[in-house]
């Protein structure tokens, strides 16, 4: 591409982005080295760099980003990370929107939007922005669409000014009063959210490290039990230690739920069917002196949730209600289809729309207003020492918010409490559970284990080898890719999600999908952060085994993923 490497093409124009494009190592992307770029790509980039308007090129099916100086200013803190990054990874909060853009333009279409509202994180926090957007296909040397050229004009200030002009036009006095009320409520909500977010960041990080420690402990305990099958004393002590690990894992799971870093596998369910499978467990957990009154509408809308986590949330709320009533009384679990209008949402982290409201209420001792304000904080409890972790309500809060919903709580001393969970109405068809299981036996396949924690890696390798598998290892994604490029042909890649190095776990998955036939991938993690998906909501084609896991859970999940790859039932 002579205009970028040759002074004849570079004379007369300059800029930060021109220099960055020259020095970027494009050989690590599908575009290949700079001097091998197509004439079409080179010419379009030259035109884009000379434009004073913010422009960005999305090249190829992945949408590798190349942009000019004006767009780098628009990108804010995301620059220069965006250069050479696939657009869906660069802007994960609007990945679905950008995938539609790339698919449309590579099919020969064009798109334009006027004052399009998007929520972007350009400076480390989400912000609503309004944009005029123009997308058109760029032909490759073969005259077929090979990329997308986007013109991005921010109109945020214009839109905000127009809205202010309309605050002034319609019933100013009423709108000002409503605005003052809304701002006061929003500030209270923001302060509480920021407080919970800060605590959540800390607890999520602690839980991640804690899960790795638990995995090392659990793995070695299980191996010890296998090495000493006839030693009753060893078996008894190992069983007690594993029980403690499981209690720690539950605690860690609750921390991750509050921090909204718990990997969720949502599916569409009718709340009636969820309760049908939970009723017996609830009655056993609450005891015979508690009566459970369930009132769910026969025509209930469906919701898209992780069923296991919703059951845990209902169980936690019911146990809290039982304790508030000293073990006697009536707990009501109700459901209702509701439509929230804008006034219903003032000062709350929820948008107008259709929701299913699930509520758990009791007639117990209730809470003071001071206690109610802290009810969702992790480790906050009014129970005496040793009788509660203070994580039940915080887990419910994090799970519902991560599921796109909202939690409200009412309580008054001497009158009881009501916790209401709002879940968005799903229009998708209901999911039918597949309870089929696979044989827990091992296999003869080859598995590449990619894990930066040495203690975890060693126990996993031994457990898999004991099940008959051939095991290859790598300390991180960079070394794993070297193993693969040297000709290793694993049947499955078992990789930690968060690792040091340039090659990420998702890069390994991309490599695996590109093979013929594709190589199976099973992720594992203490939590997913934002790497596997936005908001930690896992799609059906992502397989994740959360730490800590038992040998049986590992064997079963590995076998299931391999069987699915081979087309086995």
Q: What is the pLDDT of residue 286?
A: 86
Whether the Cβ atoms of residue 282 and residue 311 lie closer than 8 Å to each other: no
Picking from 116, 136, 159, the residue at the C-terminal end of a domain is 159
Other CB atoms within a 10 A radius of the CB of residue 535 amount to: 15
Is the pLDDT assigned to residue 82 strictly greater than 90? Answer: yes
In this structure, are 487 and 401 located in the same domain? no
252 closest CA partner among 261, 264, 265: 261
**CA-CA distance, 522 to 562, in Å (whole number)?**
9
- 419 in a structural domain: yes
In this structure, are 391 and 527 located in the same domain? no
Q: What is the pLDDT of residue 217?
A: 86
The pLDDT confidence band at residue 11, using thresholds 50, 70 and 90, is very low
In this structure, are 275 and 401 located in the same domain? yes
In this structure, are 406 and 538 located in the same domain? no
Residues with Cβ < 8 Å from 105, sequence gap 6 or more? 111, 135, 136, 137, 145, 148
In this structure, are 277 and 419 located in the same domain? yes
- 111 in a structural domain: yes
Whether the Cβ atoms of residue 136 and residue 104 lie closer than 8 Å to each other: no
- 81 in a structural domain: yes
Is the pLDDT assigned to residue 329 strictly greater than 70? Answer: yes
128 closest CA partner among 115, 140, 138: 115
pLDDT winner (highest mean) among 218-232, 268-282, 288-302:
288-302
In this structure, are 393 and 451 located in the same domain? no
Picking from 129, 159, 189, the residue at the C-terminal end of a domain is 159
- 466 in a structural domain: yes
Share of the chain above pLDDT 90, in %: 40
**CA-CA distance, 64 to 1, in Å (whole number)?**
18
In this structure, are 458 and 367 located in the same domain? no
Bridge pairing between strands 470-474 and 446-450:
parallel
pTM as predicted: 0.47
The pLDDT confidence band at residue 6, using thresholds 50, 70 and 90, is very low
- 480 in a structural domain: yes
Is the pLDDT assigned to residue 32 strictly greater than 80? Answer: yes
CATH number of residue 469's parent domain: 3.40.50.2300
- 347 in a structural domain: yes
Taking every pair of C-alpha atoms in the chain, what is the biggest distance, in angstroms?
A: 88
In this structure, are 411 and 481 located in the same domain? no
Q: Copy the structure tokens of residue 130.
A: 């309004």
Count of structural domains, the chain: 3
DSSP output for 159-217: HHHHHHHHHHHS-HHHHHHHHHHHHHHHHHHHHHHHHHHHHHHHHHHHHHHHHHHHHHH
Query: For 466-477, what is the mean pLDDT?
Result: 93
Picking from 159, 175, 196, the residue at the C-terminal end of a domain is 159
- Could you list the residue range(s) of the whole structural domain that residue 454 is in? 446-567
Q: How far is CA 509 from CA 258, 266, 452, 513, 530, in A?
A: 28, 21, 17, 6, 15
In this structure, are 39 and 151 located in the same domain? yes
Is the pLDDT assigned to residue 39 strictly greater than 80? Answer: yes
**CA-CA distance, 149 to 429, in Å (whole number)?**
37
Q: What is the pLDDT of residue 433?
A: 56
**CA-CA distance, 395 to 411, in Å (whole number)?**
19
458 closest CA partner among 231, 98, 198, 217: 217
Q: What is the pLDDT of residue 8?
A: 34
Other CB atoms within a 10 A radius of the CB of residue 504 amount to: 19
In this structure, are 18 and 154 located in the same domain? yes
- 197 in a structural domain: no
In this structure, are 351 and 473 located in the same domain? no
Q: What is the pLDDT of residue 105?
A: 96
- 439 in a structural domain: no
Whether the Cβ atoms of residue 396 and residue 407 lie closer than 8 Å to each other: yes
Please indicate whether residue 309 or residue 138 has the higher confidence score (pLDDT): 138
CATH number of residue 395's parent domain: 3.30.565.10
In this structure, are 395 and 484 located in the same domain? no
Is the pLDDT assigned to residue 530 strictly greater than 60? Answer: no
CATH number of residue 94's parent domain: 3.30.450.20
């Amino acid at each position: 591409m002579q205009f970028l490497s040759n002074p004849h093409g570079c004379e007369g124009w300059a800029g930060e982005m021109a220099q960055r494009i020259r020095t970027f190592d494009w050989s690590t992307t599908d575009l290949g080295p700079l001097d091998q770029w197509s004439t079409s790509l080179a010419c379009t980039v030259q035109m884009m760099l000379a434009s004073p308007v913010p422009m960005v090129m999305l090249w190829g099916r992945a949408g590798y980003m190349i942009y000019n100086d004006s767009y780098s200013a628009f990108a804010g803190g995301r620059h220069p990370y965006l250069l050479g990054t696939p657009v869906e990874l660069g802007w994960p909060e609007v990945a679905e929107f950008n995938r539609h853009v790339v698919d449309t333009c590579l099919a020969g279409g064009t798109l334009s939007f006027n004052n399009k509202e998007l929520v972007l994180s350009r400076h480390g926090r989400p912000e609503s922005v309004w944009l005029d957007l123009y997308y058109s296909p760029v032909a490759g040397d073969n005259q077929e669409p090979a990329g997308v050229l986007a013109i991005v004009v921010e109109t945020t200030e214009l839109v905000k000014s127009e809205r202010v002009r309309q605050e002034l036009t319609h019933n100013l006095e009423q709108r000002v009063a409503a605005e003052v009320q809304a701002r006061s409520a929003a500030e209270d909500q923001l302060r509480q959210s920021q407080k919970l977010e800060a605590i959540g960041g800390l607890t999520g990080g602690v839980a991640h490290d804690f899960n790795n420690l638990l995995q090392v402990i659990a793995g070695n305990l299980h191996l010890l039990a296998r090495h000493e099958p006839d030693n009753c004393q060893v078996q008894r002590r190992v069983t007690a230690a594993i029980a403690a690990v499981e209690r720690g894992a539950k605690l860690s799971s609750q921390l991750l739920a509050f921090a909204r870093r718990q990997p969720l596998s949502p599916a569409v369910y009718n709340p009636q069917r969820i309760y049908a499978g939970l009723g017996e467990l609830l009655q056993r957990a609450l005891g015979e002196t508690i009566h459970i009154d369930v009132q769910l509408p026969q025509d209930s809308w469906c919701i898209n949730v992780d069923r296991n986590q919703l059951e845990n949330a209902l169980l936690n709320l019911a146990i809290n209600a039982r304790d508030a009533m000293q073990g006697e009384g009536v707990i009501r679990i109700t459901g209702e289809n509701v439509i929230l209008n804008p006034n219903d949402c003032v000062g709350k982290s929820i948008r107008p729309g259709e929701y299913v409201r699930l509520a758990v209420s009791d007639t117990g001792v209730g809470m003071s207003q001071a206690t109610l304000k802290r009810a969702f904080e992790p480790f906050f409890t009014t129970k005496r020492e040793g009788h509660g972790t203070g994580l039940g309500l915080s887990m419910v809060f994090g799970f519902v918010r991560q599921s796109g919903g909202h939690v409200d709580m009412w309580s008054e001393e001497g009158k009881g409490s009501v916790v209401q969970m709002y879940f968005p109405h799903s229009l998708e068809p209901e999911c039918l559970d597949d309870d089929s299981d696979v044989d827990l036996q091992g296999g003869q396949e080859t598995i590449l284990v990619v894990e930066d924690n040495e203690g975890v890696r060693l126990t996993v390798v031994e457990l898999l080898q004991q099940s008959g598998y051939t095991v290859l290892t790598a300390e991180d994604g960079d070394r794993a890719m070297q193993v693969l490029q040297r000709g290793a042909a694993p049947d499955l890649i078992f990789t930690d999600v968060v690792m040091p190095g340039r090659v990420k776990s998702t890069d390994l998955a991309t490599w695996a999908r590109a093979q013929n036939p594709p190589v199976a991938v099973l992720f594992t993690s203490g939590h997913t952060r934002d790497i596997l998906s936005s908001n930690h909501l896992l799609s059906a084609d992502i397989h994740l085994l959360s730490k800590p896991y038992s040998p049986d859970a590992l064997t079963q999940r590995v076998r299931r993923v391999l069987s699915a790859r081979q087309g086995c039932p």
